[in-house]
Each structure stands twice: as C-alpha cells, then as structure tokens.
Structure 1
C-alpha cells in the first residue's frame, strides 16, 4: 500500500523528464485526435451529398443537361420474306411472299449547331447550382437517300411516309415549339412514344409529320433550319452526325469544361472574364459510324461533345482538401510545443495537449459551418483567426511568458496560410506542398540539433 505513491511519483517523474515518454504521449494523443477528425470528414461528405441532392432537385425543376442528336431523315421501306405454305386442296406446298415494314435513317450531309447560353446560379438554402437559358439554331442539308447498299428497289421505298426524327434529352426544358424548316416548308414535331428506350441514358425521340413529296427536290441538297429554346443545366452536348459537323457555342459562364470525344479547335477556343466562345469541327472520317443506318437508330451518346457548366472546386471540396492536412497541422503544432517544452524545461500536462488538439479539430467544424453562409476565404479567415487566437492565449497561460505564445501564433499563422495557398492551387499544389514540407523538415532538424537526446 505504501509503494503506490512512490510508483506513481516515479511514473510522473519519468513522464516529465523523459523525452521518450513525452514523444510516446504526444503520438498517442495525435492518434486519438484522428477519431474526431474522421467524424469531421464524414460530416463534410454528408453535407456534400445533401448539396448534390438539392442541386439535382433544382436542375430537375429548371431543366437538366441538354444533348442534341439530329435531325435525321427517316424513310420506310418494304422487305420480303418467302415461306412455304401447305395447300390442303392441292396437297402441295406453295411459296408465299410476306412483306415487312422497315426504316432507314439518313444523316445530314452538312450539320451546323449555333448555341448561345446565358448562365446564372440558383440557390436553395445554402446550396447553389449553375443553370442556363439557351437559344440553339441548327442548320444543314440532306442529300438524296441512297438505298443501293441494301439492294432495295425504288418501288419498295415508301416516300410518302418519310419523316424527320430528332432526339434530345431534357424535354421538360424545351421552351418553344419544335419545328423544322425543310426546303422552306415547315413541319412540327411530336413526341414519339413508340420509340424504345433501352435504358435511362437513351434520348427521347421527336418525329415530324410526314414530308410532302411535292415540296422535296432531291436533285439538289435539301436545306433545313431548326430553332430551339432550352432551360438547361450541367452541360450542353452535340452528337456529330453530319458528314461535316460544325458547332459554335458562346456563353457568359467563365468556368467551362470542354468535354466529350472532340475538343474545340485551338484557334476557336477563347475563355475570358466575360465568358467563353468555342468552335468545333468534326468530319465523318473522325468518328467510327456511317451516315446511314437500317432497321434501327443506334445510341451514339458516347460520341457527343460539348461543354460542362461547372462550379469550380466548391466549398465542400475545399473543406475536404483542408481536412486532409489535419494530421499535419496537429502533428506540427504538437511538435512546436514539444520542442519548446524540451528546450525550455517548461512542463506541459497531457490534458493541455488534448485541449490544444481539440481546438485544432474545431477549426474544421467552424470552417464548414461558416462557409455554408459565406465564401470559403472569409470562412477560412474567421475560423483560422479564432483558433490561432485561442491557442495563443491558452499557450500564454501554460508557458508563463509572451515570447513562446507569439512564436506559436506566428507558426500557426504561417502554417494555415501555407495550407490555404495549397488548396487554391491546382497544377502546382504538389510542387508547392513538397517544397513547403521540405522547408519545415529542414527547420525542425536545425532546431532539434540542440536537444540532448541522451537524456530521454
């Protein structure tokens, strides 16, 4: 019974005087603090998922992404199948010919898209999405359909039931009547509910009324024009079905992300503080599908190209990136206190390390909550200032002088500033981070050379 206080005193003395014991204690506290840091990361993911749900809801009501596939000339034709039928009267087999209706689809010889998109942000609660209003003009020309590859006779082609097919996403976002001017004659479109959608990624199909043969003259290319008005979001894409397809897009959105199988021409891409302009040109030889299809119209979404209207690294992404440096912030802060404690012989209790660590973790919860109501920069400044001030004042009560708290406050300011710079960078984040960590390592090595490690 009398040996217990002696044993405790020995342990306490070892903890105070041994460098090894102090390092083990600090390492243990850091590992324990990783638990609340993990909860903070989970909180960020939860809020990010919530943001995604709200953005999808906004886009669904306003109008989703826009993909254009067409116009396409659809011409029905007959095919025949012979079969043997037994005649009970003559007791012989008779060959009968059965006809079937099929469809041929012909893409334009020339196809030009001209799109103007006026973008803006829409907010709900603390979340925001990018939407746009667009006006799209589609022009081009069809050549006379060629059925020779299938050996289809002229008398089997049903010209008087020809029509124009147009596929698109986001029917809800269409804000004008869809019609086509073909050879100066207008034809309205209706939704084709008979078109089969294999999956939710397939586009909805619109089909015109039957073309009037007296208005067609296939001795020359048949020109067409379409004008569309859309409310859309996320992206605008075109499928290059013309033998020569050109596209021009202009918008006031300053953060476009050009996407798809084809990028804008180098001389046709311009992004400025007022928005962007982009031009594409795609030839039929640039893509692996032909200008005509028989029996069915394929899903060509994978060959679409266009622009994503993105919000650059949003607040939750920045907050998530900052938490990835949480271990480094806690570790370096504790390292500063450890060096001060070791070199000045000032005693710092494990509980005080825990309080400092909790304050460092609180920085991230402050950052997330404030950034939902303000910009990331303001949130970072407020959260950083609050935590640095708290730890600096707390260190003054621990270290009993002004010199070391000022040093700690300065080091934390530099550290948080360094992390903020890394978060803002994209192409040079790894380079700047590596140089910064190397510099920190060099400083620690230089300072720690004065410590007598044999005492631990």
Structure 2
C-alpha cells in the first residue's frame, strides 16, 4: 500500500518531465505569476515620476511659477442711462425713472512692442532638476483714441478722470522690481489689486491684476494717440508667454538657453532664431491673426489660449520611456520562456519550474535596474547597463542548466536581439506600431518554423 502511494508522485514528476503539454501549462502559469511583480514595477515607475513632479512643483513654487503676461490695458469707466420702474409712494402709480449706471470699457494698445532677455538656469533638488529664469522685458507701444461705438449702450459720459491702466500676470510673486508705466513721459506705478477668487475655478493658471492710480486726463488718448513704455523684471520657471493684445504686436525674446521649445498659437517668423548658443526669436501678430477685438465692454476676458512664447522646461522623459518599456515586460518574459521551452523540447534537457522562476525574476530585475540607473544617468546608459547585466546573468545561469555552450550562446544572442528590438520601438514615435508589428510577425514565423521539428506526441 505504501509503495503504491510513493509511485503516484513519481508518476506525476515523470509526466511533467516527459509531457510537452504539461510543460506548456507550467510555462504559461509561471508567466502569469510573474505579471504580479511586473505590475509592482510599473507602480514603482509611476510613483517615482509623481515624486519628480512634486519636487519640481515645489522648486517652481518657491522661485516663481510660469509667467504669462497680459497687458497693458487701458480701463475707462463710462455711464449709461438705465430705465427702472418704481412705484410712487403717495399716488401708488408706477412711474419710469432713468438712473446713471457706471460701466467699464477695456481698450488694448494700438501697437505693442516687447523685447525680452531671459537668463535661465537649472535648479537641483536631490536627483531631480528643473529650469528657472529671471527675465527683463521692455514694453513700448501706443494707445489710440478709444472707440465706444460697439458699446452695448450709448455712453452718456466718459469718466476720463477715473481711467486707469491695468496689467495682469500669472506670477505676481515673481516680480522683483517696482513696475511703472510711462504715459507721455509721466510715470504711474502699478499696485496689486485684490480680486476674490471663485472656489469652483480649477484652472491651472490664474491671472493676478496690477493697476495704476487714476491717470491724468492730459496723459490719456482723448483726442490723439499717446505713447507708453514700461519695464518688467520677473522670475519664473518652465515657460514665458505673452498675449498679443496690440493691434500690431511685435515681440523679441533672446536667451542663451539651448533646449528651448516655442509654444502657443504663433511661432517665430525669423529663420535665424537658433544659433547653437541660444536663440533670438521674433514674433509679429496682427489683429487679423487673432479672433478677438481691440475693446471689451463686458469685462476683461481670459485670453490665455491665444498666448505665445518659449518653454524652458527640461525634457525629462526617462520615466515615460521606462514606463513604456515595462509595458513590454509580458512580451519579454513570454518570448524568453518560449526560447527555453523550445530548447528544452528539442534537446530533451529537463528544466525545473524553479529554474524558470529564477529566469523570470532576473527579467523583472531589468526594469528595477533601468529605473534606478536612469535617475542618475541617461535612459540609454541605463538601458545598456541593465540589459547587459541581465543577459549575462541569464546566459551564465543557462550554462549551468543546459551543460553546454551552444544553447546559452543562442539564448544570449536572442535576448540581445529582443532588448535591441524593444529599444528601437521605444525610440520610435510615429513608426512604433509598424515596426513592432513587423518584428512580432518575424518572431512568430521563426517560432512556427522551429516548432515543426518538435514531436508533439506524448
């Protein structure tokens, strides 16, 4: 009776060794099991990427966030007659009455010329880094005589004595010098204006308003165009943008920062904007190029979507590439196990499930090595180091299992091709799907060809 009990495990082990079907199920089961640590690796990559974003946001918040410049804009109050119906207390009769109601009109410059020089640098925090800058912008331009013809109602009176100039920016705390505008040679300093924020407004970029005191009537364009000029010294990070409020807006931005990226609805027109040591970019935007007028009577709109400028953000894509690489983990594990399975089936060499598991864990280690090394070096260097050490580890381990040099050399060659193939796919953006599909088709054809030599009968 005892001898029969001991025979059953022996038969089961013998069945695992001799049955191709059993080995296939075993390899498939181990592949699915290894997806668990692979998912943990993907979570680790996302966690590190999120940590990087938090550190960069902290640095930017202390130095000064991205800068958006909106203005200057001429704000002129005016009055209109509003009809109201009231009841006479004595006669109880309903009588119409006209009252004067004050409204605000906003007028953009006739011409706006911007000249900006940006000094950018890199700020480090631990292993993370971001770009920050200080900029100096000189504004010149002119305000034309305001046109009230499109006002919702005929103005009864234009309150020139209450006219002011307003200016908006997204990074108020980055301003490091007093902002003063000169109108016809007379100076008017700006001061911050408190504005109650809507708690339901979840937009990323909020604009803060600066406003002058009342401008003297002789410095306003009541009858003739008046000129203005001002300077803005402001710290910021990642990007600097301008809203083309002028009927003709011309901007020039210079910097010695090399890794620039021009953003927004409008691109620089000069072909010599890049010189290898930085950039000298020029824009020209006419009122016909933008979908908004020169004056507004229903409040100053948010025109952020029409801004243009320069992005100084450091292109950090190691985490993104590592995440894309990890998505091919199932393919790498499956194809590697398939290679060992075909070798085992052709050579009749027994490979224990534990040995398959060790090989799979070595493949998982590739991704942890990749993400950890890429935080201190480039993605290419990290990929080379991680793939070389993993291929060497698996090849030496296969040498001890297969007891010869031919099969381990073939495994090393196959893994080298596989990792090279995945690296090429990661680098390609537009042709990743095409190259990946062709590569998988070739792999499938090779597997079908080799599998013809296997005796699938138990």
> TM-score under structure 2 normalisation?
0.90
* Partner residue of 1:256 out of 254, 260, 274: 260
Secondary structure of 2:178's aligned partner: coil
Post-superposition CA distance 1:333-376 (Å, at most 9, x none): 11111121111111101110000001110111122222223332
Q: What corresponds to 2:433 in structure 1?
A: 430
Contact 2:78 2:159 in 1 (8 A): yes
Call closer, same or farther: CA 1:4–1:255 in 2, change over 3 Å.
farther
Q: What corresponds to 2:99 in structure 1?
A: 98
Contact 2:123 2:131 in 1 (8 A): yes
Is 1:387 aligned to 2:390, yes or no? yes
Q: What corresponds to 2:251 in structure 1?
A: 247
Q: Alpha-carbon deviation of 1:430?
A: 3.1
Secondary structure of 1:149's aligned partner: coil
Post-superposition CA distance 1:1-31 (Å, at most 9, x none): 4433333233222221222221111111111
Call closer, same or farther: CA 1:449–1:246 in 2, change over 3 Å.
farther
Call closer, same or farther: CA 1:95–1:19 in 2, change over 3 Å.
closer
Is 1:183 aligned to 2:184, yes or no? yes
Call closer, same or farther: CA 1:167–1:92 in 2, change over 3 Å.
same
Q: What corresponds to 1:376 in structure 2?
A: 379
CA distance in 1, matches of 2:399, 2:169: 66
Q: Alpha-carbon deviation of 1:377?
A: 2.7
Is 1:193 aligned to 2:197, yes or no? no
Q: Alpha-carbon deviation of 1:71?
A: 0.7
What is the aligned-residue RMSD (CA, Å)?
2.5
1:26-425 maps to which residues of 2 (within 5 A)?
A: 26-83=27-84, 96-150=97-151, 152-153=154-155, 156-194=157-195, 199=201, 201-216=205-220, 218-260=222-264, 262-265=265-268, 267-268=270-271, 270-271=273-274, 273-425=276-428
What count of residue pairs does the alignment treat as equivalent?
453
CA distance in 2, matches of 1:426, 1:307: 24
CA distance in 1, matches of 2:448, 2:314: 42
Q: Alpha-carbon deviation of 1:272?
A: 6.0
Secondary structure of 2:376's aligned partner: coil
Contact 2:144 2:221 in 1 (8 A): no
Call closer, same or farther: CA 1:7–1:423 in 2, change over 3 Å.
same
Post-superposition CA distance 1:81-124 (Å, at most 9, x none): 34455666788777654323221111111223333323222111
CA distance in 2, matches of 1:266, 1:206: 31
Segments of structure 2 that go 5 or more residues without pairing to the other structure are none
Secondary structure of 1:237's aligned partner: strand
Post-superposition CA distance 1:308-357 (Å, at most 9, x none): 33332422112111101111111111111112111111110111000000
Q: What corresponds to 1:15 in structure 2?
A: 16
CA distance in 1, matches of 2:316, 2:92: 80
CA distance in 2, matches of 1:192, 1:123: 34
CA distance in 2, matches of 1:447, 1:84: 94
> TM-score under structure 1 normalisation?
0.91
Q: Alpha-carbon deviation of 1:218?
A: 4.7
CA distance in 2, matches of 1:196, 1:423: 44
Secondary structure of 1:148's aligned partner: coil
